[in-house]
């Protein structure tokens, strides 16, 4: 993944396993905070790489652009990503674009949330929830 330094605007390559870590810009050495926004997944390979390599839990938001509840919960997902920075990663899977992933995890209704830890699915639930519930659910022991 790539992150732009807020100080010098240099593009830094961040290994997936370090997305939840703080780091430094390779050019100016300014602090790069942990990733704090939902990551839009563009391929099954990207999804598999993040879930397998992450050293923190991964909260997955399965959604679609036509889904009203999905759109209404999107700000809550964004808040959860911000609040979980350094403790978990939040990723978004558009089920219209990546239908094979939706089938793999038997997504029958959206929004649908899943938590992966150590590369394994540890919990999953359908329905809209607020950011506090998402945060608690993501970090609670499995």
| DSSP string covering 68-119 | HHHHHHHHHHHHHHHHTTTT-EEEEEETTT-HHHHHHTT--SSSEEEEEETT
d(CA 31, CA 12): 12
**If the chain, 142 residues long, is cut into consecutive pieces of 10 residues, what is the mean pLDDT of each piece?**
92 91 93 93 97 96 98 98 97 98 96 97 96 95 77
In the chain, where are the structural domains located?
Answer: 2-32, 39-139
Q: What is the pLDDT of residue 1?
A: 86
C-alpha dihedral (79, 140, 64, 83), degrees to nearest 10: 10
Question: 115 near 122, Cβ under 8 Å?
Answer: yes
Beta 23-24 vs 31-32: how paired, if at all?
A: antiparallel
Residue 141: the pLDDT is: 81
pLDDT of 78 reads 98
Fold of 39-139: Glutaredoxin (3.40.30)
Give the chain's radius of gyration (CA, Å). 15
Give the whole-angstrom CA distance, residue 123 versus residue 138: 9
CA-nearest of 8, 42, 37 to 25 is: 8
Q: Which residues are annotated as catalytic?
A: 67, 70
Give the residue among 84, 35, 90, 87 at the shortest CA–CA distance from 59. Answer: 90
């Amino acid at each position: 993944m790539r992150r732009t330094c807020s100080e010098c605007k240099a593009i830094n390559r961040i290994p997936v396993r370090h997305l939840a870590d703080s780091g430094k810009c390779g050019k100016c050495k300014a602090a790069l905070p942990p990733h704090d926004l939902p990551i839009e997944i563009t391929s099954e390979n990207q999804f598999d790489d993040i879930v397998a390599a992450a050293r923190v839990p991964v909260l997955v938001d399965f959604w679609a652009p036509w889904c009203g509840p999905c759109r209404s919960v999107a700000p809550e997902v964004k808040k959860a990503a911000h609040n979980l920075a350094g403790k978990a990663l939040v990723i978004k899977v558009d089920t219209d674009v990546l239908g094979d992933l939706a089938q793999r995890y038997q997504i029958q209704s959206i929004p649908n949330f899943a938590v992966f830890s150590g590369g394994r699915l540890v919990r999953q639930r359908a329905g809209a929830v607020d950011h506090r519930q998402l945060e608690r659910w993501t970090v609670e022991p499995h």
